[in-house]
Amino acid sequence: LSLSTVFPVWQGGGVASRAGAWGQGWGQVGGQVPVFDYPVWCVLCQGGRARLREACRRGRGALRLPADMLSIKLPQLFDIHQVPKVFREDGIISGYRHPQSSALDCILSSFQMTNETVNIWTHFLPTWYFLWRFCVLCYTQNFLSESYTWPLLVYMLLICVYPFTSSCAHTFSTMSPAARHICYFFDYGALSLYSLGCAITYGSYVMPDCWVNSWLHQHFVPIAICNTLNFSPSIFLIRFLELQFPHRSKILRTGAFVFPFIFDNIPLFYRLLLCCGGSCCHSEALSSHCYHLLFAFLTCFLFASHLPERLAPGRFDYFGHSHQLFHICAVVGTHFQMEAVLADMTSRRTWLITQAAVPSFLGTLGALALGVILNLGIIGTFSAPLLWNSHHSASHPLTPPSKHKQQ
């Protein structure tokens, strides 16, 4: 075994022999351009790095790329006193984007360090993780014809949708005050659908054995649809009260999130109580459920407390503020929830198929479709006045923030 069979060999004669080609600058012997018949690693070790840089320089000159393609100007950032109150966040002093950013500026800002950059990526990247898990399940589960898997299908769709919607909301929320409200309307709508998907999945796979076919089991999904119908308008109205009553609106918004979460987890809470009383055996599903509840509690705590930036305003503007930590805890909690649902679905499959009613199209995909229609209608109802006011106030544009930052 020779070195020439292990390392690639550069046969440079065909290109280097042309006048003015890549061979210029590599050195000539006897008026002829040499042919390199030895491994590339030898060229790089024996002064080849300088020659390679020279070749790259000649290549860049030959391509003649326009300078404006290589110099993209990132948007300017502002301090808290330079942006309207609707864009301000508690404890965040700097790193704000222009309140009338273009769509391109919003996209570019996701590659710039702002106080929203980590918020964008902590939900955009997990979207692809959940999408990959969903694609794997599409190969291992028969979603088309096996109705037992339809609750899982609904759940997997929604855990891909809600982080992606959140990432888009954080990206484009600085285009205007109206756009900020509308972006978060879609964000809250996706969370409302996610809550509905959890109810569909828990009602099918997590319901305690003694509750199967009970009144609550039969009406679990319809009640969850009613929760969705109440959640979205409530949380949308609370957004408009945020400037006038910031503390009250925070309490109301937290409560609006907590109520559907508690309802969705009623079957799980009862199963955990039975296990604490020694009426059930330890399982992988219950362990994952407990981890999910732990991260759900951390998510709620971070969302409501605004820690740690409340203790040290300005210190966590770019890294480590509560919304970033809240995103991370939410995603990790969703991961454990997904693992728990898969474990329950697999371990209880035989018993549930024989004892419980088979999940129906109307109670799974039909309920999801109804939830989507209701949420889109509610979002349209609340967005239309904002768009109308924004259109009629175009003659009085928002005064752009000063470009002089406070020293």
Instruction: Determine the pLDDT at residue 243.
Output: 80
Known binding residues? 170, 323, 327
Kindly indicate the confidence band of residue 25, based on its pLDDT and cuts at 50, 70 and 90. Answer: very low
- Separation of first and last alpha carbons in the chain: 68
Kindly indicate the confidence band of residue 303, based on its pLDDT and cuts at 50, 70 and 90. Answer: very high
Kindly indicate the confidence band of residue 69, based on its pLDDT and cuts at 50, 70 and 90. Answer: very low
Residue whose structure tokens are 């000649």: 58
Q: Which uninterrupted H or E stretch holds 298?
A: helix 284-305
Q: How far apart are CA 99 and CA 121, in angstroms?
A: 20
Among candidates 255, 154, 131, 275, which has minimal Cα distance to 203? 154
Instruction: Determine the pLDDT at residue 204.
Output: 96
Instruction: Determine the pLDDT at residue 294.
Output: 97
Is 26 or 203 the better-scoring residue by pLDDT? Answer: 203
- The tokens describing 305, both together, are 């407390």
Instruction: Determine the pLDDT at residue 71.
Output: 54
Known binding residues for Zn(2+)? 170, 323, 327
- CA geometry: angle at 58 spanning 56 and 59, to 5°? 60
- Selection from 13-27, 53-67, 338-352 with the highest mean pLDDT: 338-352
Kindly indicate the confidence band of residue 59, based on its pLDDT and cuts at 50, 70 and 90. Answer: low
What percent of the chain is predicted at pLDDT more than 70?
Answer: 78
Is 49 or 368 the better-scoring residue by pLDDT? Answer: 368
In tens, the pLDDT along 369-392 reads 999 999 999 999 999 999 988 777
Is 191 or 401 the better-scoring residue by pLDDT? Answer: 191
Query: What average pLDDT does this structure show over 90-110?
Result: 95
Instruction: Determine the pLDDT at residue 401.
Output: 52
Whether the predicted pLDDT of 3 surpasses 60: no
Instruction: Determine the pLDDT at residue 258.
Output: 94
Among candidates 220, 157, 219, which has minimal Cα distance to 190? 157
Whether the predicted pLDDT of 9 surpasses 60: no
Please give the backbone phi and psi of residue 157, each rounded to the nearest 5 degrees, phi first.
-60, -45
Among 10-19, 151-160, 258-267, name the one with the lowest average pLDDT. 10-19
Kindly indicate the confidence band of residue 395, based on its pLDDT and cuts at 50, 70 and 90. Answer: low
Please give the backbone phi and psi of residue 73, each rounded to the nearest 5 degrees, phi first.
-85, 125
In contact, 314 and 93? CB cutoff 8 Å: yes
Instruction: Determine the pLDDT at residue 381.
Output: 95
**pTM greater than the 0.85 cutoff:** no
Residue whose structure tokens are 């399940």: 137
Mean pLDDT of the chain: 84
Whether the predicted pLDDT of 8 surpasses 90: no
Q: Which residues of 86-99 are buried (b: 16+ CB within 10 A; e: fewer)?
A: ebebebbbbbbbbb
Q: CA torsion 330→331→333→336, rounded to 10°?
A: 170
Whether the predicted pLDDT of 44 surpasses 80: no
In contact, 286 and 344? CB cutoff 8 Å: no
Is 38 or 143 the better-scoring residue by pLDDT? Answer: 143
In tens, the pLDDT along 270-283 reads 999 988 877 676 67
Instruction: Determine the pLDDT at residue 284.
Output: 85
Instruction: Determine the pLDDT at residue 63.
Output: 53
DSSP string for residues in 14-77: HHHTSTTSTTTTS--BTTBPPP--SBHHHHIIIIIHHHHHHHHHHHHHHHT--HHHH-PPPPP-
- CA geometry: angle at 196 spanning 138 and 349, to 5°? 50
Q: At what angle do helices 150-172 and 117-140 cross, to 10 degrees?
A: 160
- The tokens describing 20, both together, are 């003015």
Q: How far apart are CA 327 and CA 118, in angstroms?
A: 9
Whether the predicted pLDDT of 110 surpasses 90: yes
